[in-house]
Amino acid sequence: MKKDLLHIKREGLATADDLRGRLPDESTKKEGPYAVIECFEEIPCNPCVVSCRFDAILPFEDINDLPYVDFSKCTGCAVCARVCPGLAIFIVDESMQGEMGTIMLPYEYLPLPEKGEQVMARSRDGSELFPATVVRVLKGGKGKTALVSLEVPKESLQEVRAFSVIEDESPAFHSSETYDPDYESPVVCRCEGVDLNEIRDLIARGYKSVDEIKHRSRAGMGPCQGRSCRQIILNELARDAGVSLDEFEGGSFRPPASPISMDILAKGGEEDAENS
Amino acid sequence: MNSNRILEHPILEFSEGSDIPFSFDGKELVGKSGDTIASALHAAGVRVLGHHFKTGHARGFYCAIGNCSSCLMIVNGVPNVRVCVEPLKAGMVVNSQNDRGVLP
Amino acid sequence: MISIPLLIVGAGPAGLCAAYRAAEVGVDVLILDRAQKPGGQLVKQTHKFFGSEKQFASTRGIEIADILFKRLEDLPGRVELLTDATVIGFYEDGVVTAEVQGKFMKYRPEACIVATGASEKTLAFTGNDLPGVYGAGAVQTLMNEYGVRPGNRVLMIGAGNIGLIVSYQLLQAGVQVAAILDAADEIGGYLVHASKIRRAGVPILTRHTVGLAYGDEKVEHAIIHALDDEWNKIPGSEQQLDVDVICVAVGLSPLADLLWQAAVDMKYIGALGGYVPLRNSDMMTSVAGLYIAGDVAGIEEASSAMVEGEIAGISAAGRLGFSSEESHLLKKDCLQQLRQLRAGPGSEKIRTGMALAGAYV
């Protein structure tokens, strides 16, 4: 079943609600490690289901299907966590006695922590939770995705989804610098230095096609041949006319598509003599 | 000196590479084998490759794959060289370009 | 003038797959690519691919480039791949001109597959030409190809797959990402990519855009603001960020200059990134013998580019008289793969766009 994805598509964050049906029942949780697959969007991707030796991920009818774990078969072997291109699979183990369990997280950053090291456990939105101890590190090997296990209180096992190696505070991004609002118009054609005001002015004066604007302003006549500016000019034309973009001609295209030196062009005849 | 160089990476391996000396606006700089002129300049902290002949704005590269022609410079006296796709060679004389380019 | 059976323009995922399928049945192929090495944009994709085994799922793009290139050896047809070879002209009489390793060359191919990929769209905001405003592809190239950090603190514009993936790659290279903005009201890229970025503590601000960039001849600050439902700036929502790179990932446009020159029938289809060539299920354009594959045929993922390349390769070979029972079956399978890759709810726009462009859907 496809759930309403809108909230995740705005934030990029799964909530407890999204995890329903993704976790085993309480008695199965005590039997051993299991995979939590946080893959909520139907995209064409199947390495997890193909890689599982225990057929513990329900078979796909279509490559866009969502993966669901059969917890009676899942051994928590982590093969799927290694191959998942989305790094969306986590291995939870709460089968041990006591307060603590472990969570294994895919990790593709440097430095790779070592066993016994204290790291900062983080939530799905990257916020700091608490310091945690690394209990196992599986290096990435050929696939380069390392797996790092943290010891975490059992009640936090579904909160921790990342960690960072503890380092100095990084500076804040927000700045107090003030901008002198000496307005300048955005550049549309980087080659010929034509700005948005010039384009809008031409459109207001009755130039109504990419080619007309090109001939008047030189926008699109530079060495890139309009690759940077054409789309913006088309957008402006369409907006002015209040119609969709497909009503405009794309403009004319002539060789050379990329700059070539006159020297090379002039010597081009030599090959003809050799090959004809 | 090349603090912008990535020395360690979780996925990629970058070979040490040999030093490639070149000059930029009269200053002696060093790039690495495998560099383009633009990557060597960027690694050396140079972002401004010239100034636009009409607007006077500082210019840097934009696409880095030879599409946009924002990175035109004068290389060994030849103007309008797209330095983002021009392999760096030892002894190259690279200069900022501030005009449409004058034939050598 | 050099006469050749099959010319492929572009050695990216589409072009390399096309060459493989054509040479497999005995066609001699010439591939021209403007870069210094083959692989197109695959050579900077450090993430694992989605899709199925047939499209090398769970293998990193950089490795796929290698696989696709190496399997061109020892095929019945000979594959010649020339790098530093930029095609600059495609004439209506079928003549193709190129600058090949410093020489001007003219070719007359019997069939041609254009797999030139895409170029990055730009965004109009004040200060958008300051050094430090870089396309997302440029940032990837600098980091993953040349091993150079683009800066220390980056503001990413665009929460599509490219914006999300490049943000992740920046973090992997030890660069801070201040935020990812997108003018749309939802994240355009895959959720798993977005979640990965969020876990690293990077905010994704939908309904936001960049208002201006400023600094002394290079980016030093950016001012961002929120947008209302009519895409207008919400007064008082400005925030100023100290960043030295603004990375623009607002989408790609098919790099179709050669197709325009060849007078192929083109149509503006927004869902496919702009003007795209009309084609049939063989990936042939309105010009007989001229085929297309990959992003130039409409912006999609590299996985579909590879499959389109295979179809174009098989079809072009068939036109040249090289086909077999197996190649017919293979083409059917490829069409099925494409249909599957585009079957998800997130691909609805692509399906509509492809139908308008004449593709098999």
DSSP characters for C112-131? Answer: EEE---EEE-----BTTTST
> Distance, in angstroms, between C75 CA and closest chain A CA?
25
- Residue A174: the pLDDT is 73
Ramachandran category for residue A123: left, alpha or beta (phi over 0 → left; psi -120 to 50 → alpha):
beta
| Chain A residues lying within 8 Å of C187, measured CB to CB | 9-10, 12
Residue of C148, C157, C175, C196 to mutate, interface with B, max B Cβ within 10 Å: C148
Contacts of C324 (CB under 8 A, 6+ apart): C25
Alpha helix locations (H) across chain A? 6-11, 26-29, 47-51, 79-83, 196-204, 210-217, 230-241, 262-266, 269-275
What are the start and end residues of each CATH 1.10.10 domain in chain A? Answer: 187-263
Residues C21, C313: contact at Cβ < 8 Å?
Answer: yes
Segment C60-68 shows an average pLDDT of 96
∠ Cα C65 C66 C71 (to 5°): 105
Other C-beta atoms closer than 10 Å to the C-beta of C226 total: 18
- Low-confidence stretches of chain B (pLDDT < 70) are 1-2
pLDDT tens string A123-170: 999 999 999 999 999 999 888 999 999 999 999 999 999 999 977 666
Q: How confident is the model at residue C361 (pLDDT cuts 50, 70, 90)?
A: confident
The answer to whether C138 contacts B62, with C-beta atoms less than 8 Å apart, is yes
Q: Distance of CA A17 to CAs A5, B89, C194, C196, C197, Å? A: 11, 58, 18, 19, 21
- By CA distance, what is B67's nearest residue in C? C119
Q: How confident is the model at residue A270 (pLDDT cuts 50, 70, 90)?
A: low
pLDDT tens string C316-336: 999 999 998 999 999 999 999
Structure ipTM: 0.96
Q: Which residue has the higher pLDDT, A180 or B18?
A: B18
Domain A187-263 has CATH 1.10.10: yes
As a whole number of angstroms, the distance between CA C165 and CA C194 comes to 9
Mean pLDDT of all residues belonging to chain A: 90
- By CA distance, what is C244's nearest residue in A? A173
Ramachandran category for residue C289: left, alpha or beta (phi over 0 → left; psi -120 to 50 → alpha):
left
The answer to whether A193 contacts B52, with C-beta atoms less than 8 Å apart, is yes
| Chain A residues lying within 8 Å of C126, measured CB to CB | 183-186
Q: How confident is the model at residue A1 (pLDDT cuts 50, 70, 90)?
A: very low
Q: What is the residue extent of each domain of chain C?
A: 2-119+252-356, 122-248
Q: What is the residue extent of each domain of chain B?
A: 19-95
- By CA distance, what is C345's nearest residue in A? A42
Segment C111-133 shows an average pLDDT of 96
Which CATH class name applies to C2-119+252-356? alpha beta
Segment C304-308 shows an average pLDDT of 98
Q: Which residue has the higher pLDDT, C180 or B15?
A: C180
For the ranges A10-19, A211-220, C172-181, C230-239, which has the lowest average pLDDT?
Answer: A10-19
Q: Which residue has the tokens 């040479």?
A: C23
pLDDT tens string A41-98: 999 999 999 999 999 999 999 999 999 999 999 999 999 999 999 999 999 999 999 9
Q: CB contacts < 8 Å between A and C, how many?
A: 249
| Chain C residues lying within 8 Å of B41, measured CB to CB | none
From the list C58, C89, C195, the residue facing A88 with the nearest CB is C195
| Chain C residues lying within 8 Å of A252, measured CB to CB | 260
Query: Chain A residues within 8 A (CB-CB) of chain B?
Result: 108-110, 112, 140, 144, 146, 187, 190-193, 195, 222-224, 227-228, 258-259, 261
> Distance, in angstroms, between C136 CA and closest chain A CA?
14
| Chain B residues lying within 8 Å of C144, measured CB to CB | 12
- By CA distance, what is A107's nearest residue in B? B10
Q: Residue A274 pLDDT more than 90?
A: no
From the list B6, B48, B62, the residue facing C135 with the nearest CB is B62
| Chain C residues lying within 8 Å of B66, measured CB to CB | 34, 86
Q: CB contacts < 8 Å between B and C, how many?
A: 99
Segment C37-61 shows an average pLDDT of 95
Q: What are phi and psi of A74, to 5 degrees?
A: -70, 130
The answer to whether A109 contacts C171, with C-beta atoms less than 8 Å apart, is yes
Other C-beta atoms closer than 10 Å to the C-beta of A97 total: 5
**pLDDT above 70: percentage of residues in chain C:** 100
| Chain B residues lying within 8 Å of A218, measured CB to CB | none
From the list B54, B68, B72, the residue facing A193 with the nearest CB is B54
| Chain C residues lying within 8 Å of A86, measured CB to CB | 50, 190, 192-193, 195-196
Q: How confident is the model at residue A273 (pLDDT cuts 50, 70, 90)?
A: very low
Segment C138-144 shows an average pLDDT of 97
Q: Residue C119 pLDDT more than 50?
A: yes
Any chain C CB within 8 A of the CB of B70? yes
> Distance, in angstroms, between C43 CA and closest chain B CA?
11
pLDDT tens string C245-272: 999 999 999 999 999 999 999 999 999 9
Any chain A CB within 8 A of the CB of C204? yes
- Residue A262: the pLDDT is 87
Region C122-248: CATH code: 3.50.50.60
Give me the CATH topology for the region B19-95.
Answer: Ubiquitin-like (UB roll) (3.10.20)
Helix C13-24 to helix C302-319 angle, to the nearest 10 degrees?
A: 30
- Residue A211: the pLDDT is 95
As a whole number of angstroms, the distance between CA A167 and CA A19 comes to 31
The answer to whether A227 contacts B70, with C-beta atoms less than 8 Å apart, is no
- Residue B17: the pLDDT is 85
pLDDT tens string C199-236: 999 999 999 999 999 999 999 999 999 999 999 999 99
- By CA distance, what is C273's nearest residue in A? A231
Q: Residue C122 pLDDT more than 60?
A: yes
